[in-house]
A and B are shown apart, each in its own frame.
Chain A
Amino acid sequence: MNIWLVLLIGGLLTFGMRFSLIYLFGRFEVPQTMRKALHYVPPAVLSAIIFPELIYPSGNLDLTLGNTRLLAGIIATLVAWYTKNTLLTILAGMAALVILQLL
């Protein structure tokens, strides 16, 4: 599919969701279950992307110590856990990857 069409539809959907309940005020309420479910969207979607990026780094399953992206990802996860600092996490992960690739 053409990238411009993807961006346009993606943009319209995003606008539609932002506009939806402002427009429908008084006519529709967000159900409680959906409210709950929405909290789990970020961890679910992002993890669905992170895990394969680390474990299938070049399209093939790699659970060995030679998988530098997996090791660097684990280091970044630890940095994120202890510092909660986004930029520090990215820098630590990138530094770890570069160093591990040199080893």
Chain B
Amino acid sequence: MSESRKAFLNGVRAEIPLLISVFPFGMIYGALALDAGLSTLASQLMSSIVFAGSAQFVTAQLVHDGAPGFIIILTIAVVNLRHMLYSASLAPYLKNLSLKWKALLSYLLTDEAYAPTILNYEKEGITPVSHWFLLGAGFSLWFNWQVSTAFGIFLGAAIPKEWPLDFALPLTFIAMVVPILKNRPMIAASVSAGLVALLAFSLPFKLGIILAALTGIVVGTVLESGKSISGALSPKGML
């Protein structure tokens, strides 16, 4: 077996546990996107055009709420900003590749492909075939996401319209947010964003969501900075 193939398969193998946990999400996404009012084709193709789980859930929710296009685009951009961090983190390992490889691997760079890949690079370093690992992890996740979306669309079409399936979207978001509320800046970011979203609910074009998200980001960041400053100033690191 060639070295590149071995690296590819190692990437696939490292991805398997993630594939299992991502599959139900792809199904939930497919069913909810359809329920939110997206066409079968748009629901399916969003999984390859955008290919970013949380942004796709958010888009389905905003389509359901009748938000205008530019708000959806802005929200996708904000939700996916974190990918710049992955991009920055992997950049030194990919610097010698051709532009085509860089572009292909960037397209496949999701949270779930990043995690095993960065661990592999930290352990093995750069080798002539190490990028095949990311290709294996990224491609298997991509394939899994397309298939699970299709399953979800298929099942979603069979669910009666009267069922309150649209509520599964906010529930999915609750399940994503609550476990990361581990410290005060995180909680403050969440609560302040939520409150501003309520106060700004009547703003046109769902602008309240953008305003609320920015408020939460600023509040969390400022609180974290304040904490580290006060921690540096007071010997006990209190406050």
Contact = CB atoms under 8 A, between A and B. Distances in A.
A6 B196 contact: no
Contacts of A94: 164, 167-168, 171
Contacts of A42: 54, 79, 82, 176-177, 180
Interface in B167-200: 167-181, 185-186, 189-198
B164 A97 contact: yes
A3 interface: yes
A93 to B, nearest CB: 4
Given A13-B73, A18-B106, A48-B213, A25 B91 contact: yes
B84 interface: yes
Contacts, number: 256
B178 A80 contact: yes
Provide the main secondary structure of the chain A interface.
helix
Interface in A41-80: 41-56, 61, 69, 72-73, 76-77, 80
B209 A48 contact: yes
B225 interface: yes
Contacts of A55: 198
Contacts of B52: 14
B88 A21 contact: yes
Contacts of A103: none
Interface residues of B, number: 91
Contacts of A101: 164
Contact of B167 (A33, A47, A56, A72): A72
A39 B186 CA distance: 8
A41 B49 contact: no
Contact of B194 (A30, A36, A47, A61): A47
A56 B58 CA distance: 17
A5 B77 contact: no
Interface string A4-26: 11111111011101111111111
19 contacts: A1-B68, A10-B50, A11-B49, A11-B50, A13-B80, A14-B55, A17-B84, A30-B84, A40-B217, A41-B213, A42-B79, A44-B214, A46-B190, A47-B190, A47-B191, A49-B170, A50-B194, A51-B195, A86-B176
Interface of A: 1-11, 13-15, 17-26, 29-30, 33, 35-56, 61, 69, 72-73, 76-77, 80-81, 84-87, 89-90, 93-94, 97-98, 101
